[in-house]
Each structure stands twice: as structure tokens, then as C-alpha cells.
Amino acid sequence: MLNQPVLSLRLGGPIGTAIEPIINPHNLKIIGWWCRTPGNGREVLLTDNVREFTPGGMAVNDEEALSTPDDLVRFQEVLEAGFQLIDKLVKTKRHKLGKVSDYSYNEGLFVQKLYVSRSLTKVFTNEGTLVIDRSQILEVTDQYILVLDTEVKVSEEELAGAPAPA
């Protein structure tokens, strides 16, 4: 929902453009969008004020659905944090995995999956984009996202006792 028109049902036309999501880094929920408006410049559209997501944009009742950041005292910490998910480093405790190139979200607007672009050397070895599920995320900071290391460790004893591949 980047660069999508914000459509007023009362006016029957656009009242602004949603330019980037506002994501709460504590729970990875999209709480709203920064919007560019003709008269006031930069305002916030909270998800609670969106009546419907349409192919043509986000439908709201009217321009009162948009708020100035100063009016949203409850969300000041998140607004001031300026958390960005795209290009955030993703790593395990042992390895850097890459950077977030995209993400998907569920109906509750919680980030559900991270799409992580790998380095060029990994891309050439058919280890391109990783998909990280929300359940694999351990920690989110301003610098990185820490995820579970899904590599399975197998001891030499287990390998010795394993049947030969067919």
C-alpha cells in the first residue's frame, strides 16, 4: 500500500496519497500510513480510519480521517521512532542472512512474512530470497532483526548410524 490514493467517500475523490507504512517495531503491526496531502503536507492515516482497501486506494469517510502527528499522543513513540522494515538487516546469532526486501501482512495488519534478499554470492548459488515467518523472529531492533537459526546440527555419530541414501 505504497503511493496509494486516500479516497474520501464523502467527497468522492482523493484527499491525499499514502506514501509509507508506519510499523510498530514492538509487535510489527502496521498502525497507519504517512500521507502526503495537498493542503497540510504530511499527515497520518491510522488503520482504524480506513473503511475499505480497494484496487483504487484506501477509502475513508472524509478528510477528518487524517491526523497531524502532534494529535496522536498515544502513538508518539512509534511515530518518532521512524522504524523502517525495508533494507533492515536480518541475522541469526551466527550469520548475517541479508536484508528485508519486502514483507507480507495478514488481515489484522501484522507483518506475517519477511522476504530477505541475500548477497550476490548466495544468489548465484541458487540461495536467493529467503522467506522468514513471523514465528521465527526473536528480536527487532533499530539495527537488525534477529531470527531463529533453522540450520539442523547433525553429529558425526548420527551420520554414521544413518542409512545410506537410496
- Average pLDDT over the chain reads 86
Whether the per-residue pLDDT at 155 is higher than 70: the answer is: no
Domains of the chain and any CATH numbers: 4-81 (2.30.30), 89-147 (2.30.30.240)
Q: And the C-alpha cell for 113?
A: 512474512
* Mean pLDDT of the 60-88 span: 94
- pTM, entire model: 0.80
> What's the pLDDT tens digit per position in 106-153?
999 999 999 999 865 454 545 678 999 999 999 999 999 999 986 544
Pairing mode, strands 4-8 and 57-60: parallel
The percentage of residues in the chain with a pLDDT greater than 90, rounded to a whole number, is 72
Pairing mode, strands 41-46 and 66-67: antiparallel
Torsion, Cα 120 121 126 132, to 10 degrees, reads -70
pLDDT at 146: 96
Compute φ and ψ for 49, nearest 5 degrees. Answer: -95, -5
Compute φ and ψ for 102, nearest 5 degrees. Answer: -165, 170
- State how far the Cα of 62 lies from the Cα of 60, in Å rounded to an integer: 6
Confidence bin at 2 (pLDDT 50/70/90): confident
Alpha-carbon distances of 140 from 27, 37, 85, 128, rounded to whole Å: 9, 31, 10, 23
pLDDT at 161: 52
* Mean pLDDT of the 66-78 span: 94
Compute φ and ψ for 120, nearest 5 degrees. Answer: -60, -35
Whether the per-residue pLDDT at 15 is higher than 60: the answer is: yes
CA angle, 69 as apex, 28 and 102 as ends, to 5°?
Answer: 30
pLDDT at 159: 44
